[in-house]
């Protein structure tokens, strides 16, 4: 993928302080490459599941220079990769699992159908079935050099990496970009609060790249004075949208620019990105870098460039499914500003169709993330008998009521807030900060029922009318209700209370919560 420099500057630093120089790394790659040539042919797949250590970096570089490298998490399954061998301490596989330098002889296996493939990576699968993405060595080198140039990296820089190397954010966006610039990387085995704090103090990194959940923790550390004296030039965010409120909070706490980058497994490193030396326009992920970016008629972002994969594979030895007209349809929606900055609107499949109105989850997430009592939020759509889809906000929040959140949305957002607010202790995210919105919302089940009929009816009215505590004796029309509201109230009463109201109940504009509760009891 890249050729390590051959000098005595630090290249990789382990959590225990062990230093691997660029010269030592190059020597390790040479020896490992020679061993691999005795095991596999250039177009066979070798899965590497060795974690985030400096030795894992050497193994990944060697494998990609000799064969097709498929990075895996430690203990991860190689199923569907077509691997001939897995290099790991232990793994689930129906092929040989070996340690570096094991004497195993030649191994058999399918051959990759795309010539020149260096990396074979699965897409995240957060919005659908995972696909195999073949990336050439030239594409990976180009991507790493793009990041190094955009971030203005020099040999004096030191990155702090807690991201997994089986994703391109950590591998290409941090490690390979740093090595390309002759800089160094602190390799943490994963994210832990104490490990991150200790690394900031012991290794004095000049930058780090992470997902929003990690940035939130770093912002809290900095606000508590735990990162005084840091040497960061900037912080970088990628893999998942960074709420603007969190970007500002992190920047204020650290006193350095907080940059965003837009990248994909199919186009690693960066597609659009901010530079440390250029002010960051709020709400953007930067201008296109080293590739062509356009927005189709449907609002979908399209990409073409040297580091964009040629297509997808269903199986490693199967036919390549190329991109129509050579343009990668990203599945992301967005727009380009007059200044050429990209603004993301969310995933195409995540858009909520609420009674014919398109609701973009990211818009409402950014609003709710700005409330000081909210530590994490995801917005998704749930089936609704009247609206088609209702807007559900799943929040991790402290001492703040649902009514507080609704009022906050009403003040901040011109359109409506969430139809339902669900509270959870933690939002399940992938290692790169992504979440399957629809699966998360579906896992919540129906809204909790109120103990009393009057409370149950009042809760439905409050949800439909976006009122925190509607007066039980005020008519629907006086509360701002219209025919669509009445129809939805009727449908939710039927769904949640198993009561079919007479048509007159919904058509009566003077209907109140108390009168409707009496009808429900009589039924």
Cβ neighbours of 17 (radius 10 Å): 9
- What span, in angstroms and rounded, lies between the C-alpha atoms of 155 and 7? 11
Domain range summary for the chain, segments of one domain joined by +: 10-345, 351-443, 453-522
Distance in angstroms (rounded) separating the CA atoms of residues 417 and 391? 8
Could you give the percent of the chain with pLDDT greater than 90? 61
Q: What is the pLDDT of residues 311-368, one digit of tens each?
A: 999 999 999 999 998 899 999 999 999 999 999 988 888 888 887 778 888 888 889 9
What are the tens digits of pLDDT across the range 77-118? 888 899 999 999 766 667 888 999 999 999 999 999 999 999
| Higher pLDDT pick, 5 / 145 | 145
Neighbour tally for 52: CB within 10 Å: 24
* Structure tokens that stand for 96 in this block: 């040989």
Select from 14, 75, 12 the least CA-distant residue to 47.
Answer: 75
Beta strand ranges found along 22-176 (DSSP E) = 45-49, 68-71, 83-88, 97-98, 117-122, 132-136, 158-161
pLDDT, tens digit, for every residue of 454-479?
888 998 988 888 887 888 889 888 88
Confidence check: pLDDT of 451 > 70? no
Q: Where are the alpha helices (DSSP H) in 124-181?
A: 137-150, 168-170, 177-180
DSSP one-letter string for 223-262: HTTTTTT---SEEEE-SS---HHHHHHHHHHHTS-EEEEE
Yes or no: say if 518 and 452 are a contact pair by the CB < 8 Å rule: no
In this structure, the strands spanning 158-161 and 184-187 are: parallel
Over residues 385-432, the pLDDT tens digits come to 667 788 899 999 988 888 888 888 888 765 667 888 999 999 988 877
Class at the top of the CATH hierarchy for domain 10-345: alpha beta
Burial of 319 (0-12, 13-18, 19+ CB in 10 A): exposed
Instruction: Report pLDDT digits (tens) over 49-79.
Output: 999 999 999 999 999 999 999 999 988 888 8
If 0-12 CB within 10 Å is exposed, 13-18 middle and 19+ buried, where does residue 411 land?
exposed
What is the model's pTM? 0.80
| Architecture of the domain made up of 453-522 | Orthogonal Bundle (1.10)
Among the four given CATH numbers 3.30.70.260, 3.20.20.140, 3.90.650.10, 3.30.300.30, the one describing domain 351-443: 3.30.300.30
């Amino acid at each position: 993928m890249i050729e390590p420099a051959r000098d005595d500057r630090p290249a990789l630093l382990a959590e225990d302080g062990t230093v691997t120089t660029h010269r030592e790394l190059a020597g390790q790659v040479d020896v490992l490459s020679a061993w691999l040539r005795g095991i596999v042919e250039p177009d066979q797949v070798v899965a590497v599941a060795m974690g985030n250590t400096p030795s894992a970096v050497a193994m990944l570089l060697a494998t990609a220079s000799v064969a097709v490298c498929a990075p895996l998490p430690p203990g991860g399954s190689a199923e569907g990769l077509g691997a001939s061998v897995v290099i790991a301490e232990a793994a689930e596989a129906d092929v040989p699992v070996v340690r570096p330098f094991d004497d195993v002889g030649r191994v058999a296996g399918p051959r990759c159908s795309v010539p020149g493939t260096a990396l074979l990576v699965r897409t995240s699968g957060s919005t659908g079935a995972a696909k195999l993405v073949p990336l050439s060595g030239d594409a990976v080198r180009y991507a790493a050099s793009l990041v190094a140039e955009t971030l203005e990296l020099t040999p004096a820089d030191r990155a702090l990496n807690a991201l997994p190397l089986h994703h391109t954010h950590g591998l290409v966006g941090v490690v390979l970009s740093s090595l390309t610039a002759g800089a160094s990387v602190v390799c943490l085995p994963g994210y832990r609060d104490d490990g991150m704090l200790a690394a900031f103090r012991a290794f004095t990194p000049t930058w780090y790249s992470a997902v929003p959940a990690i940035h939130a923790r770093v912002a809290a550390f900095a606000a508590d004075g735990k990162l005084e004296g840091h040497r960061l030039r900037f912080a970088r965010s990628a893999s998942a949208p960074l709420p603007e409120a969190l970007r500002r909070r992190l920047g204020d706490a650290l006193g350095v620019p907080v940059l965003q980058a837009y990248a994909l497994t199919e186009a690693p490193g960066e597609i659009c990105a901010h530079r440390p030396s250029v002010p960051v326009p709020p709400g953007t992920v930067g201008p296109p870098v080293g590739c062509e970016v356009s927005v189709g008629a449907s609002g979908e972002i399209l990409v073409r460039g040297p580091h964009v994969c040629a297509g997808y594979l269903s199986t490693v030895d199967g036919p390549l499914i190329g991109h129509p007209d050579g343009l990668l349809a990203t599945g992301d929606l967005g727009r380009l500003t007059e200044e050429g900055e990209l603004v993301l609107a969310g995933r195409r499949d995540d858009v909520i169709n609420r009674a014919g109105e398109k609701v973009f989850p990211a818009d409402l997430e950014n609003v709710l993330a700005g409330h000081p009592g909210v530590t994490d939020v995801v917005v998704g759509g749930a089936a609704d008998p009247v609206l088609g889809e209702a807007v559900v906000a799943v929040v991790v929040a402290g001492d703040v009521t649902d009514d507080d959140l609704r009022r906050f949305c009403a003040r901040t957002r011109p359109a409506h807030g969430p139809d339902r607010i669900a509270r959870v202790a933690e939002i399940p995210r992938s290692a790169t900060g992504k979440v399957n919105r629809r699966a998360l919302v579906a896992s919540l089940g129906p809204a909790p029922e109120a103990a009393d009929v009057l409370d149950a009816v009042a809760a439905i009215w409050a949800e439909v009318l976006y009122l925190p505590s509607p007066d039980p004796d005020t008519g629907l029309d006086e509360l701002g209700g219209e025919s669509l509201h009445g129809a939805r109230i009727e449908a939710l009463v039927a769904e949640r209370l198993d009561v079919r109201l007479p048509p007159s109940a919904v058509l009566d504009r003077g209907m109140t919560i108390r009168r409707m509760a009496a009808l429900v009891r009589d039924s």
